[in-house]
């Protein structure tokens, strides 16, 4: 994961993109907080270190289902994207299909395979858009 993150940061430095920090859940929290630079990574990493060192032992006794609920609540914004499908269909059918294919590929396959299928499908739709 660290290799992939480092490669992505090097590659994305050539484009005006939103900088990702680490996991999707932390990136969503940072986006909701309005971060604009990579400086937030230092602060969030320090906060994560404090939680792991001092709060972590208190969370060790919790069952895994409780910890899973914490993750699901943190990803609530991601799950709320289902409401955006109907307006996306009317706005762009290609983007709607990209969303559906990416979701189904990631849900049915491994995350890595889902990402590869999604990227291949996006490249295919770009070719179709250029041809039309």
Domain segments of the chain as ranges? 1-74, 79-132
- CA dist list (Å): 73 to 46, 104, 120: 22, 21, 31
pLDDT at 20: 61
pLDDT at 41: 74
pLDDT at 18: 64
- Section 68-72 average pLDDT: 79
DSSP per position, 87-123: HHHHH-HHHHHHHHHHHHHHHHS-HHHHHHHHHHHHH
pTM as predicted: 0.51
pLDDT above 90 (res 120): yes
Write b or e for each residue in 10-20: b if 16 or more Cβ atoms lie within 10 A of its Cβ, otherwise e: eeeeeeeeebb
pLDDT at 24: 65
């Amino acid at each position: 994961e660290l290799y992939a993150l480092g490669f992505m940061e090097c590659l994305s430095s050539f484009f005006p993109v939103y900088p990702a920090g680490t996991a999707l859940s932390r990136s969503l929290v940072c986006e909701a907080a309005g971060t604009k630079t990579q400086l937030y990574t230092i602060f969030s990493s320090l906060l994560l270190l404090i939680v792991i060192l001092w709060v972590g032992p208190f969370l060790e006794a919790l069952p895994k289902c409780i910890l899973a609920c914490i993750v699901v609540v943190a990803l609530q914004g991601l799950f709320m994207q289902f409401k955006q499908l109907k307006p996306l269909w009317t706005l762009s059918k290609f983007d709607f299909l990209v969303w559906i294919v990416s979701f189904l590929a990631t849900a049915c396959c491994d995350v890595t395979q889902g990402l590869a299928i999604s990227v291949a499908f996006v490249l295919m739709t770009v070719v179709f858009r250029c041809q039309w």
